[in-house]
Structure 1
């Protein structure tokens, strides 16, 4: 019946291409578990119609690890917590080698990440050197994730030829102050807007399972829909020792899959990427289910401070599902 949220979504999202709003996303998140297969099936239909079967593959590497002054409660790279990650810098030859190895998997995107509030002059100079070296040596798009930016820094990164900038909102605005206290949700939002206006692609997502309510999870999906990023990485909390969220429970696999499908229905044309925590939350079978429930991009290999699945395992899954890797020419 049309009052059913999946019936509404079939018309609004699948047929008309209009994403669900926050209230509608909440209705999806509240569906009973025996409707999960129907929800995943519809999300897959939406993905195939509005995005196609191709999967975008990305690798990431940390240029500066640890020692961050911010207090993001999920992050082991904060210098404020007793987590075992310590500050370290990666040299440019190692950065280029990581980009080369990423390209060899078939990936089209390589993201340089730094654990900072925002980049200082030293970091911007290293990024410039690294981007130039990668562009000269490897046929791959270069993305960056360097924290909050000024307008001048946004313009400088765009001038370097940075293809995409990642800056996650992390969670709903109403939940943010329980996750971070050293900067505001609005500061993150403002950086995202500057990135979009400068012509770089915007990658903006967050982490599910940080104590937010279903209402706040739906709120977050609605806020991402308003922002309209090119890519949304979906992470699931992997509680790290020494952080304030170390004792939070892992999200149940069925809840994670429901979230994936609901976010696809909110963002029908967006690159929806598997990111951190999926290995613990979903395992092999759940990872497959997510690829058939709205996901159309993955990070291969390890993350910044946690281990991921092997690249070969993910690439074999794509072959098995008959999902081709998006070619570099299709991302330009």
Structure 2
């Protein structure tokens, strides 16, 4: 009986040599690999990243302009106003926003993302964002991204006119799993926002959270969903269960499973910026940062996240120096 070709051998020829992404079924095969294959898998994913993306790492900082009190019921999020979770509504003033941008730029980051916990922006929020962007531009040389929820076409056009470089709106999970994660809006509504953002000429940043009760099949489906979208950047988060949320009692994703997912997503998205985001500290620990960056990751969020603490920015920056991974220069993001 002829033995089926090994998926890593297939991936080496298909992705590394020819630059052709793995499809959904192939990604699932990768996710099902045993832990004894993890080192080989991470090595291949790193080779793919180096060949098709290069050694540079993009560094980004994020800040919440409007925190908490969100009307949506995303089951992982402590900023929902519908759950008995500790985050309460608060607004950040413009001077604090500018100071956060300055501190982010000092780390060497080239991207600063303004985030708000809302279904979508109202006139007040968009005015605050516009004022914040103008104030930052007057004092800081950094690209500005936004993550403000679902948008109308008029709002997309307004943000593009403000000079927003990149817009983040995560699909969060596979289309088939989404109703188990959010019930107050649909996966298709998120997709429509992303389509309008791309058509307006802004870069598309879209990823999600792994470890929200999805199956391996749905994890592979999610990778395929993202590949179909063709985003410029994919932030990979890992669930950090928040007290008071519907997902507060879920188990943290095992480190080996998380690293397999990182590598599998790289093989499904060989030319895409793949960013380490929230939850990596609790899921992978300090060692995982190195394993991920040597396993397909080529971008990181430094410092804290929106409602959880991250690694000190210096730790990530020192690691990049140790690994001889240069930080992407600002002019390279234009």
Question: Normalised by the size of structure 2, how large is the TM-score?
Answer: 0.99
Partner of 1:305: 307
* Alpha carbons 1:118, 1:147 under 8 Å: kept: yes
* Correspondent of 2:17 among 15, 25, 29: 15
Out of 124, 129, 132, the residue aligned to residue 130 of structure 1 is 132
CA distance in structure 2 between the aligned counterparts of 1:75 and 1:65, rounded to whole angstroms: 11
Tell me, in whole angstroms, the C-alpha distance in 2 between the residues paired with 1:310 and 1:197.
36
The answer to whether the 8 A contact 1:2-1:8 is kept is no
Per the TM alignment, residue 305 of structure 1 is displaced from its structure 2 partner at its CA by: 0.5
Tell me the alpha carbon deviations over residues 201-243 of structure 1, each in whole angstroms, 9 at most, x when there is no partner: 0000000000000000000000000000000000000000000
CA distance in 2, matches of 1:186, 1:3: 37
User: Hey, what does 2:98 align to over in structure 1?
Assistant: 96
Distance 1:175 1:8 in 2: 28
Secondary structure (helix, strand or coil) at the match of 2:176 reads helix
| Alpha-carbon shift at residue 283 of structure 1 (Å) | 0.4
Which residue of 1 is the match for residue 86 of structure 2?
A: 84
Write out aligned runs for 1:174-193 (5 A): 174-193=176-195
Gaps (5+ residues) in structure 2? none
Q: Runs of at least 4 residues of structure 1 off by over 2 A?
A: none
Q: Secondary structure at the match of 2:217?
A: helix
The match for 1:55 is 57
Alignment partners' CA distance in 1, 2:183 and 2:69: 17
TM-score, normalized by length of structure 1?
0.99
- Write the distance in 1 (CA, Å) between the matches of 2:328 and 2:55: 9
The Cα shift of 1:2 comes to 7.6
Give 1:31-70 correspondences, 5 Å limit.
31-70=33-72
Aligned to 1:289: 291
What SS class does the counterpart of residue 217 from structure 1 fall into?
Answer: helix
Paired residue for 1:223? 225
Q: Over residues 270-320 of structure 1, what are the superposed CA-to-partner deviations in whole Å (9 max), with x where a residue is unaligned?
A: 000000000000001111101100000000000000000000000000001
Residue of 256, 263, 273 corresponding to 2:265: 263
Aligned to 1:323: 325
Determine the C-alpha separation between the residues in 1 that align with 2:103 and 2:175: 37
Q: CA deviation at 1:63?
A: 0.1
Per-residue CA shift, 1:95-139, capped at 9, x if unaligned? 000000000000000000000000000000000100111111100
Aligned partner of residue 284 in structure 1, secondary structure: helix
User: Aligned partners of 1:16, 1:201: CA distance in 2, in Å?
Assistant: 25
Tell me the CA shift for residue 11 of structure 1.
1.1
Distance 1:159 1:3 in 2: 51
CA–CA distance in 2 between the matches of 1:17 and 1:154? Answer: 32
Whole-angstrom CA distance in 2 between matches of 1:316 and 1:198: 37
Corresponding position of 1:206: 208
Alpha-carbon distance in structure 1 between the residues aligned to 2:58 and 2:172:
21
Find the counterpart in structure 2 of residue 154 from structure 1. Answer: 156
- For 1:109, the equivalent position in structure 2 comes to 111
Give the secondary-structure state (helix, strand or coil) at the position aligned to 2:291. helix
Distance in 2 (CA, whole Å) between partners of 1:248 and 1:87 is: 25
2-structure distance, mates of 1:288, 1:250: 19
The total of aligned residue pairs comes to: 332
CA distance in 1, matches of 2:235, 2:193: 17
Provide the alpha-carbon RMSD of the alignment. Answer: 0.7
Partner of 1:249: 251
